Structures are given as structure tokens and as C-alpha cells.
Chain A
Amino acid sequence: MKLSSGAIRLVIPAASLAVLLAAVFYMQPRAMSYTGLNLLFNLAVPIALATIAQMLIMSVNDLDLSMGTFVSFTACVTATFLQSSPAIGILILAGAIAAYAALGVIIHVRQLPSIVVTLGMSFVWGGLAVLLLPSPGGAAPGWVRWIMTAKPPLVPVAIVASVIIAASTHLLVMRSSLGVLIRGVGGNQRSVERAGWSIVWLRAAAYAMAGFFAVLAGIALVGLTTSADANIALRYTLLSIAGVILGGGEFVGGRVSPIGAVIGALTLTLAGSFLSFMRISPDWQIGAQGAILIVVLALRLFLNRLEKREKNR
């Protein structure tokens, strides 16, 4: 049996998700139901969207350290303006996406380190979120709530949403010509430039798309929690980076995988549920999450080695 290197990249994250899922089912057979699955993966939807956003930034060799504060900000907009006066809400969110595109332009034109610019922006988004909602509150718009709590037949909405996100971003990033160009910027910027493409526009497009998915993440999050607060999604910065890496993506070289990223996000979410099923003391929950991350990555190394040995034979 022959597999392309892209498929191999996907096998490992998918296998780790399957193992974790099997462990959860073994410990709590009742999770193996419509409601059980929905509860397990509910919170994965916004994390998956944020991971996709981070992945787009990473595909042009940049890193976004403001992801968590930005998703918090869009969640605050969703719970306030988008709910009370949708027109203004949409305008603000569109402005936020435009700001992301502008960041891409600035970072490229001035040759600035993305880590620092997004670090600065994380203060800005955090400040805006605090201005919008100084204390937790707001309400989810009806239609958002309706989508996130929908009950499609047979398969729970969390799974449906994850599949839709994975499939559509796969088409966008892996199959469309724009996606190929964006990954090309990460792979070899100079060759894309020599081929006559504008790197500025490509980077702006990558950032704008990232902003768009991060906005979706904020909206989806409010649909689940029904209210927002300025610190609601701070941990998304690190979660989204970890999700991309777990899904087989790399920091440089435009090597990313949208399907892998969604699987990575699902794995991270499941790790949380797994630990509560294990009845681990809350003291050790964060630590065990770190341990799971290490185990999955060790597994990946092991399988990579195995694959190499097969090849050499």
C-alpha cells in the first residue's frame, strides 16, 4: 500500500484522535451516543475555527500571538452589537477583518516580525474587549444560538460543523489557486514573487482569511456560551498553535493541513473531557493535558521513524 506524504501526515493525528476517543468510550460507554458525542465535541467548534485561522497565518511563516484576545473581542462584539443592532455589528466585524488584512500589509511592507506586531495587537484587542464588556454579560443573537444548538438527524451538530469546516478549508487552502499561492509564500517567497505574483496581496489575503475564521470562532463561541466576557477565549492563542502542530502542520515552509488542524483541535478538546472522566484531581488537570500533548507528539515521532524504516527497506 502506498500513501502520499500528505496522507501520512493525516494518519498520525487521526490515529491519536481515534485512540483518545476509544479510551473515552471505554471509560464512559454512555458517551457513545448522540448527546454524548455532542457534549464531548461541542466546544471544539470555536477552537477548530481559531486553529484554522492560526494555520492560515502559519502558512505564510508568521505566528499570531493575538488569536485569543481577538476571538474574545469578536465574542464581545457578537454578544453586544451583533445581537442588539446587527448592521453595526457586521460593520465592526468587517472592520476587524480589514484590520487583519492591514496587519498583513504592514508586516510585509515594513518587514516586521509578526510575533511582535501581533503581541502589540493582543493588547489592542484586549482593550477593545474590556471597553465593550467591562463585566461578563451580553446575549447571543437568536440565529447563532439556533445554529449552535441545532439537532440534525443521526449526527450531532458539533461533528457536522467540524466536517464542514475541515472540508471547506481543505478546498480553500489545498485545492484553490489562492490557497496554493499562499502556501507558496510560506514555502519559497522569492519564487512566487519571481512568478509575477504580489506577495503583499497574498499576505493580506492570508491575514484577512485568518481574521474571517477568527470572527467565526468568536460567533460560534457565543452561540455555545450565550454570553461573553473580555477574557473568554484567552487560552485560544496557545490552543490554536498546539492544534496546528498536533494536526501535522509546521512553523515554517507553508506546510499546513486544514483537515489535520481540525483533528488537532478535536484532540485537544477531547483531552479535557478524557481527564474529567479519569477523575484526575483538578490540581493535575492542566499538567495531564501537557502530558497528553507530549504523548501524542512522541507517537508522531515514533510513526515517522517507522515510516522511514519502511522506506529504506
Chain B
Amino acid sequence: MSAVRNLGSRPWIWSFAAAAIVWVATVWFTGGSSAFGLSQATLTFAAFSIIVGVGQMFVITLGPGNIDLSVPATMTLSGTLALKVMDVQDGMILVGLLVAVLVGVAIGIGNYALIKLLRIPPIIATLSMSFIVQSFAIWTNRGLRIKPPEMLSSFATSYSFGIPNVALIALLISTVAWVLLEKSIYGRWISAIGQSSFAARMAGIPVDGTRFVTYVLCAVLAALCGYLLASFSGGAALNMGAEYLLMSIAVVVIGGTAVAGGNSNVPGIWGASLFMFLVVSMLNTYGFGAGVRLILTGLIIIAVILAAGGRKAVR
């Protein structure tokens, strides 16, 4: 009994419950025939929101006002540049990956430089940065659509043991993130900063260093996601990151991470990402038009927040 209560008090349980309900509702409608295909598609597409969501979660944990709006532009630029560098050659895959990571590091450093040196609120700093990055991506892309190397694209679109490879990568990243957050001193530090950055500073925590690392980490994860997404969808597109801005914030918050910071959880991001994709595919299965689909998506998000909400320490 106490185990049940313990489980119910975990904020992430709600997002998994919601995802499960939507999954059942969709499979039911198709008479059970789509169960396996739907699960594979969900895992594949959720993987991308999980990767950016984990990065965004670290940033949001830093406390009120900390949000990285440069995620979509970072994804676009890293996807574009990496594909350009690899130039369809299988031997360049690792070099491309390195380029993507470097793009992320550079943008993360830029973001934090603006926040720290110019004292710009993070939302505005990352927004201005994203404008510049977006311009850079437009300039490098120039309407060219370069295909990813054969080996990389087949890796990104295939399965191991019935599980999509991208989902396995997302699992690996989430595990590392979970260890960082729960078991390492760095995780304790970002939670402490999110709860009270003044108290954290007084306690001798290197606040600036920790925040710096967090913004770089978020940008690197976004860049990595851009690299994978471009390889998965057979090329980079200028708007490929667009939907991940709201998505990355939504999965973090629906997953039970406090918007006010200082409290985060990794499993919730999985539940929320699965849920968000399942809602869209459920409404598609039921044959709704674009307008109704959007309205229902919004109402369902609010309903989940209402059901799971009412916790303390929210804004």
C-alpha cells in the first residue's frame, strides 16, 4: 500500500499514465492491429524530443527565467553544417558528429557570455542568439539539400532488437543525465542553484561555472538532436527545429519538473514525450482535421497539467 502511495507521489507517474491511456485509446480504435507499429513510431519520434528535453530540463532546473530558446536554431545549424562537412561520405561520420558537438559548444558559450557579461535575462539572450544562429544556418544552407551518408541514415532509421536506434541513443543520454542529476555533485549543485542561487553562492557552490556548463550542455544536446534528426529525415531543412521549441519546454513541464526550478526528473521526460507524440497520432487516427487536432492537443495538455498540478513550488 505504501509502495502505491509512494509511486503516486512521484510527479512523473502522471505523464506515463496519460501516455498509456492514449496508447490504449489509439490501439483500440484500430482493433489492435497497429500496436507494434505505433509503439515503434512513438519511440522513434519521442526520442528526438527526449534528447532536447533533457537539455532544456537542466536549464529550467537552474531557476526562474532560465529557458533556452535557441534550441531550434541550434538543431538547424548543427544538422546543416554536419551534413555539409560529411558530404555523403561514410568515413566522415565521426567528423560530422564532432562538428555538431562543436556547434553546440560554441552556441552554449555564446549564450552564457550574453547572459553573464551583458546581464541579459536568459530568455532574451538565447532568443537574440537564436536569431544570429538562424541567419548563419540560412547562409550555410543556401537551399541545398545534402543527403546524409548512407551508413548514418540507415543507422538512424533502423532498429536493434525491435527498438529504434535513436530511442536507444535517447535512453543512453537519459541514463547519463539521470546519473549526473541524482548521483553527481553537479546535479546537487544545479538543484541548489535553482532553489536559491543566493544561498548556493553563500554555500560556496561555483554558481557561474555550473550555469555555464548547463547552458553548454543544453546546446550540445540540441546540436546532437539536430545531427540525428537530419540523418533520420534524409537531410537538413531550415525549419526542422521549429516545433522543438515549444515541445522541449512542454515535455519538461508535463514530465513534472518544476518550472520554478530546483527540482527535476528524467523519467518524466520520457512519459511526456511519448504522450505528446501519441496524442497527435491518436487524433490523426481518429481522422480529425488540423484545426480540431490542434485544439484537442492544447486542451489535453492543459487537462494533464490540471490533473497533475497543484503541487507547491510552481510559479
Q: Which residues of A come within 8 Å of B, CB atoms?
A: 61-62, 65, 106, 110-117, 119-131, 134, 238, 241-242, 245, 250-252, 283-291, 293-294, 297-298, 301
**Contact A112–B314 (Cβ < 8 Å):** yes
A290: chain B residues within 8 A (beta carbon): 127-132, 135
A293: chain B residues within 8 A (beta carbon): 124, 127-128, 131
**Which of A120, A126, A238, A287 is in CB contact (< 8 Å) with B302?**
A120
**Contact A131–B291 (Cβ < 8 Å):** yes
A250: chain B residues within 8 A (beta carbon): 121
Query: CA separation between A109 and B99, bound complex, in Å?
Result: 48
Query: CA separation between A238 and B294, bound complex, in Å?
Result: 20
B65: chain A residues within 8 A (beta carbon): 251-252
Apart from A111-B314, A293-B127: 20 A-B pairs, beta carbons within 8 A: A111-B311, A113-B314, A116-B250, A119-B250, A119-B253, A119-B301, A120-B298, A124-B298, A127-B296, A127-B297, A129-B291, A131-B291, A238-B127, A245-B121, A250-B121, A251-B123, A286-B134, A287-B135, A290-B129, A291-B128
B139: chain A residues within 8 A (beta carbon): 283-284
> B295 near A: Cβ within 8 Å?
yes
Nearest 9 A/B pairs, CB to CB: A287-B135, A290-B131, A123-B298, A127-B294, A127-B295, A131-B291, A124-B298, A120-B301, A113-B259
Q: Which residues of B come within 8 Å of A, CB atoms?
A: 64-65, 69, 114, 118-121, 123-124, 127-136, 138-139, 246, 249-250, 253-254, 259-260, 289-299, 301-302, 305-306, 309-312, 314-315
> Which partner residue on chain A sits nearest B288 by CB separation?
A127
**Which of B64, B127, B133 is in CB contact (< 8 Å) with A242?**
B127
Query: CA separation between A134 and B294, bound complex, in Å?
Result: 13
Q: Would you list 6 pairs from A and B whose C-beta atoms are within 8 A, ordered by A residue?
A: A126-B294, A127-B296, A131-B291, A287-B132, A287-B136, A290-B129
**Contact A285–B297 (Cβ < 8 Å):** no
Query: CA separation between A306 and B295, bound complex, in Å?
Result: 50
Q: With A113-B253, A127-B294 given, is the CB distance from A251 to B64 under 8 Å?
A: yes
B123: chain A residues within 8 A (beta carbon): 241, 251
B296: chain A residues within 8 A (beta carbon): 127
Chain A, interface SS category = helix
**Contact A131–B292 (Cβ < 8 Å):** yes
**Contact A123–B291 (Cβ < 8 Å):** no
**Contact A119–B249 (Cβ < 8 Å):** yes
Query: CA separation between A127 and B309, bound complex, in Å?
Result: 24
A288: chain B residues within 8 A (beta carbon): 135
> Which partner residue on chain B sits nearest A250 by CB separation?
B121
> Which partner residue on chain A sits nearest B247 by CB separation?
A119
**Contact A116–B253 (Cβ < 8 Å):** yes
A298: chain B residues within 8 A (beta carbon): 118
Query: CA separation between A169 and B138, bound complex, in Å?
Result: 39
**Contact A114–B119 (Cβ < 8 Å):** no
A115: chain B residues within 8 A (beta carbon): 249, 253, 259, 315
**Contact B254–A116 (Cβ < 8 Å):** yes
**Contact A124–B131 (Cβ < 8 Å):** no
**Contact B298–A283 (Cβ < 8 Å):** no
Indicate the member of B123, B134, B250, B305 with the most A CB atoms within 10 Å. B305
A123: chain B residues within 8 A (beta carbon): 294-295, 297-298, 301
Query: CA separation between A106 and B259, bound complex, in Å?
Result: 17
Q: With A112-B306, A116-B305 given, is the CB distance from A122 to B114 under 8 Å?
A: no
Query: CA separation between A106 and B299, bound complex, in Å?
Result: 13
A291: chain B residues within 8 A (beta carbon): 128, 131-132
B124: chain A residues within 8 A (beta carbon): 241-242, 245, 293, 297
A110: chain B residues within 8 A (beta carbon): 306, 309-310
Q: With A112-B309, A130-B294 given, is the CB distance from A61 to B315 under 8 Å?
A: yes
> What distance in Å separates the Cβ of A240 from its nearest Cβ neighbour in chain B?
12
B127: chain A residues within 8 A (beta carbon): 238, 241-242, 290, 293
Query: CA separation between A149 and B295, bound complex, in Å?
Result: 35
**Contact A120–B305 (Cβ < 8 Å):** yes
> Which partner residue on chain A sits nearest B259 by CB separation?
A113
**Contact A124–B299 (Cβ < 8 Å):** yes
B294: chain A residues within 8 A (beta carbon): 123-124, 126-127, 130
Query: CA separation between A286 and B73, bound complex, in Å?
Result: 12
Query: CA separation between A286 and B238, bound complex, in Å?
Result: 13
> What distance in Å separates the Cβ of B92 from its nearest Cβ neighbour in chain A?
26
Q: With A251-B121, A287-B132 given, is the CB distance from A134 to B291 under 8 Å?
A: yes
**Contact B119–A301 (Cβ < 8 Å):** yes
> What distance in Å separates the Cβ of A107 from its nearest Cβ neighbour in chain B?
9
**Which of B132, B249, B302 is in CB contact (< 8 Å) with A121?**
B302
A121: chain B residues within 8 A (beta carbon): 298, 302
> What distance in Å separates the Cβ of A117 from its nearest Cβ neighbour in chain B?
6
